[in-house]
Amino acid sequence: MRTWPGSPYPLGATYDGTGTNFALFSEVAEHVELCLFDESGTETRVRLEEVDGFVHHGFLPGIGPGQRYGYRVHGPWDPEQGLRCNPQKLLIDPYAKAVQGQPDWDPSLFAYEMGSPEEPNDDDSAGHVPFSLVVDPYFDWADDRLPRHPYHETIVYEAHVRGLTMTHPDVPEELRGTYAALAHPAIVEHLTGLGVTAIELLPVHQFVTDHYLVEKDLTNYWGYNTIGFFAPHDAYASHPGRQVQEFKGMVRELHAAGIEVILDVVYNHTAEGNHLGPTLSMRGIDNQAYYRLVEDDPQHYMDYTGTGNSLNVRHPSPLQLIMDSLRYWVTEMHVDGFRFDLAATLAREFYDVDKLATFFELVQQDPVVSQVKLIAEPWDVGPGGYQVGNFPPLWTEWNGLYRDTVRDFWRGEPATLGEFASRISGSSDLYQDTGRRPYASINFVTAHDGFTLDDLVSYEQKHNDANGEDGRDGADDNRSWNCGVEGPTDDPEVLDLRRRQRRNFLATLLLSQGVPMVLHGDELGRSQGGNNNVYCQDNETSWIDWDLDEHEHALLGFTSALAAFRTAHPVFRRRRFFQGKPVRKADELRDIAWFTPAGEEMTDENWDDDFGRAVAVFLNGRAIDERDERGERVVDDSFLLAFNAHHEDITFTVPDGEYASTWALVVDTASGTVAEPGDELVAGGATLDVTARSLVVLQRVES
């Protein structure tokens, strides 16, 4: 087979129309063999003779899209020193733009040999490891453009490719569970009707199902087990080998509907696991470079992720891998942003978390990556790993404190009132001092990891028996409340309370300052039967049931109306923090004011009150202190929100005429209504009965 010298850059397999350039980094390799496989599985090995800067490379004329390949790396084998080259093992290209198949978990993948490996033979690991694929980079993007919604106008919808689409009756069966299903008009119409501006997809990088799950006849449903940082997961394609084209088609259709695509990415670890895990890719290519090893015991891995290994972000090659991957997904796949799983791990240059770590410096100066949405899951499982509020200015964060505080408030926990007020007004205590804005806070009540919204109000204990771990998996502290009965019930009072609580959470989320994130199916009352860790449940437990009853239809309508209400009123999505005072000399009223149910302004004693289950807040729509894209001052209506998390009705006194002469009821979670200004109330001592555990919103009526 003819081989030309080729180029050390770009890394990976790059097709140019006449052939393919192959390039692989390995500092420890003595030599590298490129392995090509035909349709029958016959392997042809080509030694890459050229080496520049530890990159082994060569160009093969006539090799094009669809070609299956892998690598065999010849080099030192000394696991006790962290050296694990073994040419018996076929390896996935870390830069592969497509991968085919899953490991069959042959025992040879797990061999932990302390001596020298045997010489390669015909009975080695080919066929046990997925193949890398050469891809065609051409795609007709037509007039595709990134929507680029500003953060303050963003509503995020966290979703799973399969979970969202597997049972939708209007999606053809052959498309369900695929990228093509996400692009189907029925799904797009649901998202646009819900007011969604960005869909945040659980991992779609190529991942593998762990062997211990396969042995239990389970699967890695969530996908947090990456083995290919450039490759769309092949099982989400409706046609084999078409995953790249179908993913691009999905992005194009979602963009046409004004919906951004954000990827949940896992750059903190890989599917190769701990020292007993399988050799699939980077471990056999250059273990010392790609992984964080224990310094005084390099046969073991530093594990800040709870998965067995951590990527070595102190080394330039893994950093290059991450940055090249991010740029590829933006420039070639047209995605709009990333949510970084366990992002604190990427800040661990040494032992402690360092927010000025090299990775974040690279992102800051990168002209491509710095311009898309960057969302951190701001924690990992290592010491000091909880870093909410500590990420650099470009970044937004999943606000776990918002989640916990809002859950505590609505389940009636005492002494959370001050914290609750801070969270719904933008969490300035976390973000203001670092120069960030309220939209640095990605607010959420539920996410893929934990209870759904319906389960949050229906279960106090996790019910994870189906996971096969005797209930040891999943969080124990769910901050949930079952409204008096654990699990399913026919009690009409309990069911009514649960429905009201769901509306309370959704209304609080969509009317808080910051960026709201809704978990897929929460708008439909989706339940997982109390399972708070469905990472291995690719079945009806985790999929949305689109067969809706009248209450679920009503919840969808309520959520859609709330999202539209938020979109219509900029006072609920401010770009600057409240000042607690008039923002201009001509203003008489502060931009925000807090009241007791008696209509009196909150004092320090009120904030410290152990009762802490009811409060009202005035939002001044004429004191937003912002200008629109035309330079005109942003103004809005003013609103009064009355929160009652108490188990009894509470009578609120509406603030006096200084704030408004007349108010109109526009949102009521007790009745489930979101309406145009309706029933009017005369201010100046007028009272309003707020139903137990409910929220009402009053709109100022201009005289």
C-alpha torsion 531→535→539→545, nearest 10: 60
The answer to whether 506 and 499 are in contact (CB under 8 A) is no
Please tell me the distance from the alpha carbon of residue 504 to that of residue 420, in angstroms, as a whole number.
14
SS3 244: helix
Give yes or no: 174 in active site: no
- From first CA to last CA, the distance across the chain in angstroms is 85
Tokens of 481: 């409340």
Helix, strand, coil % in the chain, rounded to nearest 5: 25, 20, 55
Please tell me the distance from the alpha carbon of residue 28 to that of residue 33, in angstroms, as a whole number.
14
The answer to whether 466 and 537 are in contact (CB under 8 A) is yes
Please tell me the distance from the alpha carbon of residue 58 to that of residue 43, in angstroms, as a whole number.
18
Please tell me the distance from the alpha carbon of residue 290 to that of residue 318, in angstroms, as a whole number.
6
| Of residues 77, 29, 20, the one with CA closest to residue 49 | 29
- Looking up tokens 């969202």, which residue turns up? 164
Q: How many CB atoms lie within 10 A of CB 27?
A: 14
DSSP 352-370: S--TT-HHHHHHHH-TTGG
Please tell me the distance from the alpha carbon of residue 392 to that of residue 396, in angstroms, as a whole number.
9
Q: Is the peptide bond preceding residue 10 cis, with omega within 30 degrees of 0? A: yes
Rg of the chain in Å (alpha carbons): 27
The answer to whether 226 and 206 are in contact (CB under 8 A) is yes
Please identify which of the residues 43, 200, 377, 522 carries the catalytic annotation: 377
List CB contacts of 445: < 8 A, sequence separation 6 or more.
403, 406, 407, 453, 456, 505, 508, 509
| Of residues 241, 215, 235, the one with CA closest to residue 223 | 235
The answer to whether 71 and 24 are in contact (CB under 8 A) is yes
Please identify which of the residues 253, 286, 341, 419 carries the catalytic annotation: 341
Tell me how long the chain is. Answer: 703
Please tell me the distance from the alpha carbon of residue 95 to that of residue 99, in angstroms, as a whole number.
10
Alpha helices in 235-382 (DSSP H): 243-256, 282-290, 316-331, 358-365
Please tell me the distance from the alpha carbon of residue 655 to that of residue 597, in angstroms, as a whole number.
10
* DSSP H or E segment with residue 428: helix 428-431
Please tell me the distance from the alpha carbon of residue 162 to that of residue 180, in angstroms, as a whole number.
11
* DSSP H or E segment with residue 157: strand 156-159
The answer to whether 113 and 77 are in contact (CB under 8 A) is yes
Tokens of 490: 């026919």
- Looking up tokens 């609750």, which residue turns up? 420
Give yes or no: 341 in active site: yes
* Catalytic residue IDs: 341, 377
